[in-house]
Amino acid sequence: MRKALLLSSIFPVFSLATDSPMKTLLKKLEEKGILTEKEVKTIEKTANKSFHPIVKIRLQPRIDFGDIYKDGDNYKTKSDFYFRRVRLEISKKWKNIPIGESLKINFTLQADKAERDYDYKKGKRKHTPPSVKVKYAYADWKIVDEFSVRLGIKKLPYSRVSLTSSSRQLLIERPYSTEDAKKWLGEYDNNHILFHGKIAKGIFRYMVAIGDGSSIADENKTGKENVQADTKILNLYAIRLEFSPPGFVEKKKDDTGIGEKNKGNAISFGISYAENSKFDVGNVNDEKGTVWGVDLFGRFQLGPGILVAQAEYVKMKYDKLDKDEKGWYIQGGYLFDTEKFGKVEPAFRYENVDYGDSDRKITTLGFNHYFKGHKIKWAYNILFIDNDDGDNQTVHQIQAQFYF
């Protein structure tokens, strides 16, 4: 017992998450007979009462080259090396709380140069240095599986590929259409309250978000700068419903064949609708923006490897401005183990985007090479971008990920 009390005074400064080094060490000490099962439980119980946040760092160095820079009406072949993403995540989860099952808090800081300094999709370079911003800041209170409440800054619940963490994407970049959808109503990482839960062990899942709509003034697709938003609650809301057949429930969204938190085959069908209303654009008053979409995902054991396939359709509209955009994509990959060189996953995507007065078709080919799951990996993609004006692009991307 003295050993347990002594270790209990040390371990609280470390995380005792399921996959943490300290958790592994405790198991080893128990296996070797240094600690008894009772002593291990005493240490874990004491540590869980203390504040020992889980700290994670994500680094995504990247190289782009090809037709990425637009000079006048023509694209020029250029190259660029930068950090696509640098992220610091701090989180803590309490179990056995007085009311409900658990309470989780998260605070994430992020510097994202690709969004701030360089955007090959528009062929423009802004020369704006990356800045650190609060990406997420929220508390998620799980009362029961069927009902939880989350309050703070987090992603609005629409578009599967956007809701999936960028650390678990099949291809380096998300589709054009869904990236545009994230800006159609304002900031996608929005301050809101979310009611969510899963029914019948995850066969049915729902998410209902309510916000004040003020973020439309910060970032939007109206093409106007003088956007004034009404900040009343309920002016912004989003609803997402998901369904998985029995025996095919996906525990955690992962667009790749790795599926770290998932065992067995998975199928997920989703439908979502989001609306931001009562904002003024120039001489247009009480404008309303909407985004709706459907998506389908599957992961299956096939032969010696794992097959993943995904498709999504999304449509965005401003009512009074009579402006809309829609797009769809289909993507897939096949993960297999090379034994000597780790796991490799060839992947592809075909996407069509309709901007109303023009369109764009994008074909992406590439592969992921996993050294240690999503913690250490790198990827190569080549994009063939068919622009409506005939000025087409070929873009190469190489990105690594270190997540620890």
Contact call for residues 83 and 113 (beta carbons, < 8 A): yes
Residue type, 57: I
Domain with residue 165: its CATH number is 2.40.160.10
DSSP conformation letters of 252-310: S--SSS--TT--S-EEEEEEEEEEEEEEEETTEEEEEEEEEEEEEEEEEEETTEEEEEE
**CA-based torsion, 166, 167, 169, 171: positive or negative:** positive
Question: 132: domain range?
Answer: 53-403
Q: Per-residue confidence of the chain (404 residues) as pLDDT tens digits?
A: 445 444 544 444 444 454 566 677 777 777 877 778 887 777 777 666 666 789 999 999 999 998 877 766 677 788 888 888 899 999 999 988 999 999 999 999 998 765 434 455 555 555 556 678 899 999 999 999 999 999 999 999 999 999 999 999 999 999 999 988 888 887 788 889 999 999 999 999 999 999 876 555 445 566 665 566 655 667 889 999 999 999 999 989 999 999 877 778 999 999 999 998 877 776 777 888 899 999 999 999 999 999 999 999 999 998 888 889 999 999 999 999 998 888 999 999 999 999 888 899 999 999 999 999 999 999 999 999 998 877 888 999 999 999 99
9 and 78, same domain (yes or no): no
Task: Choose one of 52, 75, 91: the last residue of a domain.
Answer: 52
Cα distance between residue 262 and residue 258, in whole Å? 9
Q: Any idea what DSSP says for residue 128?
A: P
∠ Cα 248 252 258 (to 5°): 85
Q: Are residues 16 and 86 in the same domain?
A: no
Number of domains, the chain:
2
Q: What is the pLDDT of residue 49?
A: 61
Same-domain status, 211 and 92: yes
Co-location of 47 and 194 in the same domain: no
Same-domain status, 59 and 38: no
Cβ pair 366, 332 in contact under 8 A: no
Say if residue 276 is exposed, middle or buried (CB neighbours under 10 Å; 0-12, 13-18, 19+). buried
Span 294-353, pLDDT tens digits? 999 999 999 999 999 999 999 999 888 888 999 999 999 999 999 888 899 999 999 999
**Pair (142, 217) in one structural domain:** yes
Q: Do 337 and 343 contact (CB within 8 A), yes or no?
A: yes
Question: How much is the pTM?
Answer: 0.84
117 and 191 inside one domain: yes
What pLDDT was estimated at residue 180?
87
Answer with the one of 12, 31, 52 that is the final residue of a domain. 52
Residue 397 and residue 172 in contact, taking contact as beta carbons nearer than 8 Å: yes
pLDDT of 116-133, one tens digit each?
Answer: 344 555 555 555 566 788
191 and 302 in a single domain? The answer is: yes
262: buried, middle or exposed (CB in 10 Å: 19+, 13-18, 0-12)?
middle
Residues 36 and 86 in one domain: no
Q: Which residues pair with 295 in a beta bridge?
A: 270, 312
Across-strand partners of 151?
Answer: 139, 193
Last residue of one domain, picked from the residues 27, 52, 77 = 52
Place of tokens 């096949």: 334
168 and 305 part of one domain: yes
149 shares a domain with 7:
no
Verify that 172 and 128 share a domain, yes or no: yes
